[in-house]
Structure 1
Amino acid sequence: MLRKNHALLYLFLLVAVLLAACTPETAGTAPSNPPTQNQPSGTNEPPSAPPKQDLVIGFEADAATMLANTDVNYVTDIQIRNIYDPLIDRDKNGALIPVLATEWKNLDPLTWEFKLRPGVKFTNGELFNAEAVKYNIDYILDEKNNSFYRSRWKDIKEVKIIDENTVQIITVQPFPTLLFRIADDLLIMAPKHTQEVGLEKAATNPVGTGAYKFEKWTRDESLQLVANEEYWQGAPAIKKLTFKIIPEFSARLSAFLSGEIHLFKNVPVDSVERVKSSDNGKIEMVGSSRINYVALNTFYDGPLKDKRVRQAINYAIDVDDLLKSVLNGYGTKMTGPLSKVNVDYTETKDYGYDPDKAMALLKEANIDPKSLKLQLDTPNGRYPMDTHVAQAIASQLQKIGITVTVQANEWGNHLAKIRQHEMKDMFILGWGPAFDAQGTIENLFTEKAPYSGFYDKDVEAMIQKALPVFDPTERKKGFDELQNRLVEEAAWVPLWQQGDLYAVDKNLEFTPRADEKFSVFEMKWAK
């Protein structure tokens, strides 16, 4: 496929870093909605196991919508990617591969051209073509649709249809990571269906070109999909797919051990041996491209607007101890905003654990630590031992006199509070897949990005200067400077590169991915 030399070099670098640095780490947790009932009341009979041509995945939270290109949310994206295809995807190592687009090239610094796969149909019979690509990108850009992806696509000027299977994307300035944005964000909805039924109905009755067709969605209970037997890559081996929403770990584990579900992600580190010793289970582990951190919120009018206070908190939190005592040694420590699996990673200063320096910085800021009363928000069950981590951080800060109140939130509410700038001093969040610097830094350190917790006008100016740079060496230099500047500003307390632990039925052929996708088309039952 065609590319500029610099773009090719950038992708080779990406693959090399991923292959070299992807290391196994830890697992996660789940939101605090009422658990799904595993059996009818009034009976002690265990639930019957689903037939083995079917697959049931236990999932921690429900999707927000079935619309593509709308909700920047892992739990939504993972489910709907089985319904919709992308133009470009990533392989298991993070390298870009063709899907609905077969090749692409730069015609000039502002123009990208894509050749589309001919003959592909949506599951309602609509033909996939250039019109469908234009519709979906225009959907993101249209303010009326309230897409949370819009800030990531702000440099798109227009989409031109050249012919049925050729489309051009015109940008307002050079957009060197456009291919990454397409791979990580863009999914293709059926335009005629979406327009005819309207967005509200399409949000509960999706139509894509993917390996699975929508069958039924019961809010906060399950999403049921059936195999698309006419799928352009061939009929899926697994004929029926159900995402069963089971927010609580204990209920998810019980459902797995009883055979009610066959697969779930984020096994608690203290439950690994129980899965391994079960009759039907095994553990699969992979280093994720997701990062976990504590945001030190400058959108809230509190003491963390002072850089010295943010630096003090970095010195007062012992990340090494958290990894050892809470995550049982499964994590890989980070010192800056990017993990080592990110192609743009550079080594940054490690604050380390130094409570004396923390006290000195607070004194310099004329703050008595005993007067500091901060709030730390955390999701309950979304990330590896997240509430346990939050409580441990509160205990560490208490050692220098800072009082921290931990507020545990249901996952959807946690995201809404961040987007609406309703968080107080600190909050725990994860971000990923995170393969390139722009995908993290632009989305988490600019004023208008939906999940940002830190804003500084000089840092934003540095970001905007780096974004349009096409030359890989100059671009890397710009993002290296940004990583060091963000550490100096103590924008976060970086925690760790997340690792993923999966409980897997022994008879299921499943390979976990660094990007955390449940691509069921790639799975099958052993004969």
Structure 2
Amino acid sequence: MKKLFNPALAALLVSTGMAWAAPDAITVGMVLEPPNLDPTAGAAAAIDEVVYANVFEGLTRFGADGAVLQGLAEAWEVSADGRIWTFFLRSDVKFHDGTTFDAYDVEFSLNRARAEDSTNAQKPLFAGIDLVEVFELGNIVITLKEPDGAFPWKMAWGDAVIVAPESAATLATNPVGTGPFVFSEWVQGDHVTLTANEDYWGGKPALARATFRFISDPTAAFAAMMAGDVDAFPNFPAPETLPLLAADPRFKVIVGSTEGETILAMNNKLAPLDNVKLREAIAHAINRQDIIDGAMFGYGTPIGTHFAPHNPDYVDLTGLSAYNQEMAKKILADAGLSGIKLRLALPPPTYARRGGEIIAAQLRAVGIETEISNLEWAQWLEQVFRGKDFDLTIVSHTEPMDIDIYSRPDYYFQYARPEFVALIDKLKGTTDATARSELLRQAQEMIAKDYVNGYLFQLAKTGVANAKLVGLWENSPTQANDLTAVHWVD
């Protein structure tokens, strides 16, 4: 929404004793439109970018710094053996449709997420639950199969939000949660609008209305910012224009970190990529810095495994897949691999489309041809993520601390080496911090040495906002545009 300042009107308001009111609405730009609005039944990050902490809430939640905070549970405790978790629930919460939130909603949500027919994209988060019991309306007791010190962290994910049985069936198009904003409308292909929840348990938010506009084209995104058609673009798709925006006093550029490991994903079970030597050659053919510079205009941190560099347990393994085209050619020759042609499926984000062209040229230089296909997000989810019908693809995995996806046999890049699965199983049952760090080191090294994927860079969070807008997250500990604390200042 464009905001115009009229000096004459301002002077009139002051002279008549009227206070100058700050805007109470915001228009947020997003690159991708969510395929649906149910975070418990979809894998797309764009879903959480609209509804996490805004429409839906979980027992716990992530704060701006990544800390696990209170959510619908105001406190929790764990038994001495680490298996029984008791969450004490808030008593003054209602869903947006007026139904009361209580422990039965928690029981329903967790059992729905872990059910055999569950469509939850992060079903493994709930696999450790053995029993969910309602002892009182104000608390819920969750018994785990094994000790899990990370359980409150798992409950903070967008996939673990609490929903009501009365509205669960229609959340995809009519999301009903307990959060500070209520779903108002979805004009597909254009925007989603939320309005303030007047009865929010945490107090009415400063914003009366929030509109998420979908602008995938980088040029159009820049034009929308310059025209004032959007107030903020938390994940701005045109990093090449950031210096121009930073020099304009109307805007502020916000650069932070994300949980987004950007990878050249490879289909490990599909020939010829089931050959580790081909995957190794591909890894050495890739010049990460060229991709960061060419696709992200210098924004991004090189990675050599599926782990965030800002995490204290990160191991720098970039040397295992250092850029060396001669080595890549030799590996291919020694393995008798020639005439390789692979399909490269690219989803809409600019890092994928721009990065894909660069990678295709780098692979061609060592004798590997690629056939590029540009897919829309829904098509990518259906063909690549669910259907596993691909050779190569580029995507940022924005879920926090998600190295365990490599242990899932049905995950789209199809790795699940038994030794890795055993390692993750051991990690899940380990609560000692030192022991967990050692297991995470082993996990990072195993997937790096198996060249499961081409590890490119950690996605930077490059955002732009109106200079008078405060409260937006600088970093992205999870995929969210939390508007809870966002407000305008003079």
Global fold match (TM > 0.5):
yes
**1:429-482 Cα distance to aligned partner (Å, 9 max, x none):** 111232x3xxx2222442123x44433233223323332222222222222111
Deviation of 1:343 after TM superposition, in Å, equals 4.5
Take 2:173 and 2:364, find their aligned partners in 1: how far apart are those partners? 47
Take 1:411 and 1:204, find their aligned partners in 2: how far apart are those partners? 17
SS in 2 for 1:215: strand
Q: Is the deviation greater in 486-495 or in 313-322?
A: 313-322
Structure 1 segments of 4 or more deviating over 6 A? none
Take 1:145 and 1:324, find their aligned partners in 2: how far apart are those partners? 41
The aligned runs of 1:115-264 (5 Å cut-off) are: 115-184=88-157, 185-194=159-168, 199=169, 201-264=170-233
Q: In the alignment, does 2:41 pair up with 1:92? A: no
Q: In the alignment, does 2:425 pair up with 1:464? A: yes
Q: Is the deviation greater in 489-498 or in 346-355?
A: 346-355
Q: Which position in structure 1 is the counterpart of 2:31?
A: 60
For 1:441, the aligned partner's letter is I
For 1:77, the aligned partner's letter is D
Return the match for 1:429 from 373, 389, 395. Answer: 395
Deviation of 1:186 after TM superposition, in Å, equals 1.4
Deviation of 1:99 after TM superposition, in Å, equals 1.7
**1:339-396 Cα distance to aligned partner (Å, 9 max, x none):** 222343223351211122212211221113xx1111222212x2x5321111111111
Take 2:266 and 2:39, find their aligned partners in 1: how far apart are those partners? 31
Is contact 1:444-1:454 (8 Å) kept?
yes
SS in 2 for 1:84: coil
**1:59-95 Cα distance to aligned partner (Å, 9 max, x none):** 2222222334221221001211211122111222111
The aligned runs of 1:101-120 (5 Å cut-off) are: 101-107=73-79, 108-120=81-93
Q: In the alignment, does 2:344 pair up with 1:376? A: yes
Take 2:361 and 2:50, find their aligned partners in 1: how far apart are those partners? 37
Return the match for 2:244 from 274, 282, 293. Answer: 274
For 2:343, the aligned partner's letter is Q
SS in 2 for 1:67: coil
SS in 2 for 1:144: coil
Take 2:65 and 2:128, find their aligned partners in 1: how far apart are those partners? 28
Q: In the alignment, does 2:352 pair up with 1:352? A: no
**1:291-311 Cα distance to aligned partner (Å, 9 max, x none):** 1011121132x2111111111
**1:390-447 Cα distance to aligned partner (Å, 9 max, x none):** 111111111122212222211222122233243322111111232x3xxx22224421
CA distance 1:333–1:214, shift in 2 (3 Å): same
CA distance 1:95–1:477, shift in 2 (3 Å): same
For 1:55, the aligned partner's letter is I
SS in 2 for 1:77: helix
Is contact 1:379-1:428 (8 Å) kept?
yes
Return the match for 1:336 from 269, 281, 305. Answer: 305
**1:204-240 Cα distance to aligned partner (Å, 9 max, x none):** 2222111011111222222111101221221111101
Take 1:373 and 1:499, find their aligned partners in 2: how far apart are those partners? 31
Is contact 2:384-2:390 (8 Å) kept?
no
SS in 2 for 1:109: coil
CA distance 1:376–1:214, shift in 2 (3 Å): same
Take 2:365 and 2:443, find their aligned partners in 1: how far apart are those partners? 32
For 1:54, the aligned partner's letter is A
Take 1:48 and 1:339, find their aligned partners in 2: how far apart are those partners? 37
Take 2:138 and 2:269, find their aligned partners in 1: how far apart are those partners? 45
SS in 1 for 2:93: coil
Deviation of 1:513 after TM superposition, in Å, equals 2.8
Return the match for 1:287 from 235, 257, 279. Answer: 257
For 2:215, the aligned partner's letter is I
Take 1:349 and 1:525, find their aligned partners in 2: how far apart are those partners? 42
Structure 1 residue runs of 5 or longer lacking an equivalent are 1-46
**1:144-174 Cα distance to aligned partner (Å, 9 max, x none):** 3422222332221221112111111112223
Is contact 2:232-2:464 (8 Å) kept?
yes
Take 2:424 and 2:291, find their aligned partners in 1: how far apart are those partners? 31
Take 1:463 and 1:312, find their aligned partners in 2: how far apart are those partners? 27
CA distance 1:231–1:154, shift in 2 (3 Å): same
Is contact 1:299-1:453 (8 Å) kept?
yes
SS in 2 for 1:412: helix
Is contact 2:388-2:413 (8 Å) kept?
no
Take 1:263 and 1:152, find their aligned partners in 2: how far apart are those partners? 32
Is contact 2:74-2:90 (8 Å) kept?
yes
SS in 2 for 1:152: helix
TM score, norm. by length of structure 1: 0.83
Question: Number of matched residues?
Answer: 466
For 1:489, the aligned partner's letter is D
Return the match for 2:281 from 312, 320, 328. Answer: 312
SS in 2 for 1:183: coil
Take 2:139 and 2:456, find their aligned partners in 1: how far apart are those partners? 44
Q: Which position in structure 1 is the counterpart of 2:475?
A: 513
Is contact 1:54-1:239 (8 Å) kept?
yes
For 2:160, the aligned partner's letter is L
**1:223-259 Cα distance to aligned partner (Å, 9 max, x none):** 1111012212211111011112222222222222211
Structure 2 residue runs of 5 or longer lacking an equivalent are 5-21
Take 1:362 and 1:207, find their aligned partners in 2: how far apart are those partners? 54
Take 2:318 and 2:194, find their aligned partners in 1: how far apart are those partners? 47
